[in-house]
Chain A
């Protein structure tokens, strides 16, 4: 299978609001049909980048090309983008069908074609029977679907979601995540989500761009992002981890030896001798018991949290260090609070990050 051509190309896009740099030379290339999430804390620039793509807030410098056309200074109404807003922004004076038809009417499409497209879009979001309703008569979940149908109906080159699921309650949100992903894949839409919800990012996207202080810290598939975080920020923002500070005392072949309060640990990374680093690993890598081939540390169990399919064990390893272990439900032995335990984890799943780059 040949690589699809780039569909949306963002090059060196910067944006300042007064003294604050909100976007700092951002590059991002998205292929046709790809679902990409911009993930980050509030103020990281993700919404500004989305608004720049939509044309609602053009960048100061840099270029944006969509479907082979430079749209950097094209106003939003001539971009052919679809946006689903956090507040849904449905037109209260129009019916459900009126909202979905809006974009096509503005484009001057013939009535028969509009009716067909509205029916198709509403059927897609399973609201075919509610076309005549007023917006105020809909639930939050239904309004969300209308907003989606309205954005899809114009067959945009790219669909943009600005925290679009955040107003739904948790259960509905999780259902919508899966349904929305399937729907977007069915219609082969190219979509960009903006969210601060890591679960949403991991569930919905082919690739996730972790953003921090106006830059993309890492752009990777969800699995890779979780297993191989590129920075301490990415590690912290996605998933849980054990983090221990230490000093590099040796290293070769992309691995370093680090002296920490819990003992000598090996980790992936390349640092000079004496560098201060944070050594980290994911909780499911930790196994009860000693293993001389691997990293290990011992301590006293501080808390045990049962979460159904998994159990989280927090261990006080002394000198301010703590270990976080996730034991799957199948493991027979689960330690109790105050137990003395030893955990081991593979060096290949241990990462070292520069300590001063703390978020």
Chain B
């Protein structure tokens, strides 16, 4: 039975790949609970001491604050600008709408390093020297494509006859948009927001060119820690970030379904 063997082979391959992808995360999580500074197998017990140390890391709180500020703000701005741009591209009769859409999404296809260097040069040229503003604008460039791409796809799937149907059933135009279009596009909105948040929060290659000694985003600060003192504190921090991401993903799954995020929906 060839097919039976093929199926078993595929399962083994799939499980093997999943393990390969997930194992580093498991190791990190396990190491974060290690009672000794050096991670050893078998575990000789469990401890939360490294978690207690996170807050005492040099410059941790300012970096976390900076990363969260930039992530939340760039996501919020991207959602507004990206959604409006998507409406114009998917709905308006703009000449070259397709080209414009591709242009909006193009930073996604560019290597982060190139983007980082380019932005650094550009910001110097126009005299934008404040780190915070430069980071925000740069992250906007990184996050906008996620929102634009997802919202254009969501809008082009949206049947505008639904709005007409709602109007004939007694809704005003604005009421129809709120009752019909918003719920229909909410999943796209939420998903693109989540992606944008994560893309900004863990961005390294673009940020590295724009930060200075005093203001570093969390990923850059973390690399500095690991060069200075490689102990499980960093593993604890990574595990917390991982847990936070998982919580976000689970919430999104409850709200709209994870399969949509994987892009496998309809």
Task: Report which A residues bind B (CB closer than 8 A).
Answer: 54-56, 75-79, 81-83, 85, 87, 89-93, 102-103, 106-107, 150, 154
Report the nearest B residue to A56, measured CB to CB. Answer: B164
Shortest C-beta distance, B190 to chain A (Å), equals 13
Known: A87-B159, A102-B166. A93 touches B171 (CB 8 A): no
16 example contacts (A-B, Cβ-Cβ < 8 A) are as follows: A55-B167, A76-B167, A77-B170, A77-B172, A78-B170, A85-B161, A85-B165, A87-B161, A89-B164, A89-B165, A91-B165, A92-B184, A102-B166, A106-B169, A106-B175, A154-B169
Tell me if B180 is interfacial: C-beta within 8 Å of chain A.
yes
Best-buried of A54, A85, A150 by chain B (most CB within 10 Å): A85
Contact of B161 among A81, A89, A92 (CB under 8 A): A89
B162 within 8 A of A: yes
Decide: A83 and B172 in contact? CB cutoff 8 A. Answer: no
A83 and B175 contact, Cβ closer than 8 Å, known pairs A77-B170, A89-B159, A154-B170: no
What does the 1/0 interface line of B174-216 toward A look like (CB < 8 Å)?
0100011001100000000000000000000000000000000
A83 adjacent to B180 (CB under 8 Å): no
Q: What would 15 more interface pairs be, CB under 8 Å, given A56-B167, A77-B175? A: A56-B164, A77-B171, A81-B168, A82-B169, A83-B168, A85-B164, A85-B165, A87-B161, A89-B159, A91-B165, A91-B166, A91-B180, A91-B183, A103-B169, A107-B170
B168, A54: Cβ atoms closer than 8 Å: yes
Number of interface residues of B (CB under 8 A): 17
A83–B164 CB distance below 8 A: yes
Interface residue from A76, A79, A89 paired with B162 (Cβ < 8 Å): A89
Q: Are B167 and A75 in contact (CB-based, < 8 A)?
A: yes
Return B158 CB to nearest CB of chain A, in Å: 10
- Interfacial chain A residues near B161, Cβ < 8 Å: 85, 87, 89
Report the bound CA distance from A43 to B115 in whole Å: 51
Which residues of B have CB within 8 Å of A89? 159, 161-162, 164-165
Residue of A nearest to B170 (CB): A106
User: Complex: how many Å from CA A90 to CA B180?
Assistant: 10
> Contact: A106 with B162, CB < 8 Å?
no
Interface of B is mostly: helix
How far, in angstroms, from A90 to B165 measured CA to CA in the complex? 8
Which B residues are within 8 Å of any A CB, using their own CB?
Answer: 159, 161-162, 164-172, 175, 179-180, 183-184
Q: Note all chain B residues with C-beta closer than 8 A to A55.
A: 167-168
Contact of A75 among B172, B180, B183 (CB under 8 A): B172
What CA separation (Å) do A85 and B183 show in the bound complex? 20
Distance of B243 from chain A, by nearest CB (Å): 31
Q: Are A56 and B168 touching (Cβ within 8 A)?
A: yes
Question: Which of chain B's residues have a CB closer than 8 A to the CB of A79?
Answer: 168
Task: Specify the chain A residue showing the minimal Cβ separation from B160.
Answer: A89
In the bound complex, how far is the Cα of B180 from the Cα of A154, in angstroms? 18
B164 → chain A closest CB, angstroms: 5
What residues on A are CB-neighbors of B167 within 8 Å?
A: 55-56, 75-77
Q: Contacts A91-B180, A92-B184, A93-B183: A77 and B159 contacting too (C-beta < 8 A)?
A: no
Residues in chain B near residue A83, CB distance under 8 A: 164-165, 168
Measured between alpha carbons, how far is A106 from B171 in the docked complex, in Å?
6
Residues of A close to B184: CB separation below 8 A: 91-93
**Closest B-chain residue to A80, C-beta based?**
B170
Residues in B whose Cβ lies below 8 Å from that of A90:
165
Note all chain B residues with C-beta closer than 8 A to A92: 184
Enumerate chain B residues within 8 angstroms of A150, measured Cβ to Cβ: 169
Q: Which B residues touch A154, using CB under 8 A?
A: 169-170
CB distance from B162 to the nearest CB of A (A): 5
User: Which 4 A/B pairs are nearest by Cβ-Cβ distance?
Assistant: A103-B169, A89-B165, A106-B170, A89-B161
Nearest chain-B residue to A87 (Cβ)? B161
A30 to B202 CA separation, bound complex (whole angstroms): 66
- Contacting residues, chain A, for B159 (C-beta < 8 A): 87, 89
- The distance in angstroms between the C-alpha atoms of A75 and B168, with both chains bound, is 9
Query: Closest Cβ of chain B: how far from A155's Cβ, in Å?
Result: 12
**Bound form: Cα–Cα A54–B164 in Å:** 10
Chain B neighbourhood of A75, CB < 8 A = 167, 172
Closest chain A CB from B180 CB (angstroms): 6
Given contacts A85-B161, A89-B161, A93-B183, contact A76 B175 (CB under 8 A): no
Residues on B with C-beta less than 8 A from A102 are 166, 169, 179
* Complex Cα gap A76–B161 (Å): 13
- Closest B residue to A162 by beta carbon equals B161
Distance in Å: Cβ of A76 to nearest Cβ of chain B: 4
Q: Is the CB of A77 within 8 A of B168?
A: yes
Q: Report the minimum CB–CB distance from B238 to chain A (whole Å).
A: 37
Q: What chain A residues lie within 8 Å of B179 (beta carbons)? A: 102, 106
